Structure 1
């Protein structure tokens, strides 16, 4: 993410309109739009006002640019907030959060391996079933090899 994207992300996270931010830092709403669209960059004095108005560290707004040179990954503001809360927990609290996080991660990984298939019976009943991607590949192979019964094709006409 670029500075412009991070600026917009943080403003929206705070549920702040462009007009509100513009009013807080003493520029026009159009200027905020230009900053967020990467058309122009704020002057140094305006940057300091942006940091204050959005309650961010300067590094937050340039995190991706820094990543290219030295940081191994970027962390969004909501993630930074969660990290601060996590660091304030005692050992018991961290164990609980770690357990929940691991369980949720496992659940999501399993869900990503499942796909929904819509089945339609001759009666017209429609149902969606979940199968693994491997099972879907096997079903598709069977269907590719399937040759329709000529009598059934004639019945459809």
Structure 2
């Protein structure tokens, strides 16, 4: 499934109009329309994070990440998942936010490194 299809499907599942989703993400309704049409070239990382949060999904899900059943997990990863599942909704949200911040920093660094290489 393409990102444009995921955005539209999840928006509809959440019961949002394009305008409502736009307000949650801090963009115009026209921008949401462009995203759902496949015009994603100018989509900023910060907007991806806000969009995923508004749609109640992980940012990776926007990119159609493989299902966990097809992943091979290390023992440490399995332990983390078990601990995560023991958290309440607030705890999970806090951990999700920490992960999102770390990933955003990595993304910025990768972009800066790419720019410095020319």
Q: Pick the TM interval, shorter chain.
A: 0.5 to 0.7
Equivalent in the alignment of 2:108: none
Residue 4 of structure 2 corresponds to: 4
Correspondence for 2:17: 17
TM-score by length of 2: 0.52
Q: Distance in 2 between matches of 1:54 and 1:13?
A: 9
TM-score of the aligned structures, taking structure 1 as reference length: 0.40
Unaligned runs of 5+ in 1: 73-157
**How many angstroms does 1:11 deviate by?**
0.3
Partner of residue 27, structure 2: 27
Instruction: Give the structure with the higher percent helix.
Output: 2
Unaligned 5+ segments in structure 2 are: 71-118
- What root-mean-square deviation, in Å, do the aligned CA atoms of Structure 1 and Structure 2 show? 1.9
2-structure distance, mates of 1:46, 1:58: 10
Q: Which has the higher contact order (CA 8 A, sep 6+)?
A: 2
The number of equivalent residue pairs is 68
Superposed structure 1 runs of 4+ greater than 6 Å apart: none
What's the CA shift for 1:30?
0.4
